[in-house]
Copies of this chain bind each other. A is one copy, B any other.
Amino acid sequence: MKRIKLIIAYDGTNYCGWQIQNNAITIQEKIEEACRKLFSQEIKLIGASRTDTGVHAMGQVAVFDVDTTIPCDKIAYALNARLPEDIVIQKSEEVPLEFHPRYDAIKKTYNYLILNQEFILPQHRHYATFISKKLDLGEMKKATKLFIGKKDFNAFCSAHSSVKSTVRTVYDLEVKKEDSFIKIVITGNGFLYNMVRIIAGTLIDIGLHRITIEDLNRIIESKDRANASATAPAKGLTLEKIYYGEEKI
């Protein structure tokens, strides 16, 4: 028996997120189907991150166990031939049987893309949130500092969530302008449910001068979801990369 690690990119537009569920098409289901066709047996995937409906990925990670003679690095090609065009395995490799994509992850990077100009660019309609009013990049950049470090992010966690601890460490948070886009790149040891999208929504409100840096300080301190901004739309979010022990933090 071998444990195979997949690195997966997907366009989340047409899926109800990563995790398998009844009566909805998910990315996990599509990959399990492709595995079933390839290996002629039921395969159960363990994913690293449960991305929501409409969220994209460049570097989702999942593992499964199988007995196979197919060279491990060729499994990516074989699965891609059996997957729809909006899901593409980027890499397949054998990992130790005890490797776990969620528990062994040491940090994750997400990016959140905002198109900030008068009109939507149709090529980007599924991959960026559109804001026509000019965002104050300077204020957004200033605000990033308040999120960095080990903090209780309860104010930035969706109310539906029930986790033991809402303390997480944000290692890095950057706001960059690229042509008409503003890109938020965040790296942390883990993220609460909807945390990246609520942080993005809060940074957008800072950029629109709806809230000030002082307000943001109070929102973080309050640890109350009711005080933070609305969750920014799913389509702007991409799971960029998941880091494991073999890579430097």
Q: Is the CB of A125 within 8 A of B90?
A: no
Chain B residues closer than 8 Å to A86, beta-carbon distance: 122, 125
Closest partner residue, chain B, to A130 (CB atom): B88
A85 contacts partner chain B, Cβ-Cβ < 8 Å:
yes
Given contacts A11-B125, A125-B11, contact A88 B119 (CB under 8 A): yes
Q: Is the CB of B121 within 8 A of A58?
A: yes
8 A Cβ contacts from A72-101 to B = 76, 80, 85-91
Closest partner residue, chain B, to A87 (CB atom): B122
Q: Is the CB of A85 within 8 A of B125?
A: yes
Interface centre among A11, A88, A118, A123, by most B CB within 10 Å? A123
Interface centre among A9, A118, A119, by most B CB within 10 Å? A119
Nearest 7 A/B pairs, CB to CB: A11-B122, A86-B122, A11-B123, A90-B119, A88-B122, A88-B120, A9-B121
- Write the residues of chain A forming the contact surface with B, with a CB cutoff of 8 angstroms: 9-11, 56, 58, 76, 80, 85-91, 118-123, 125, 127, 238
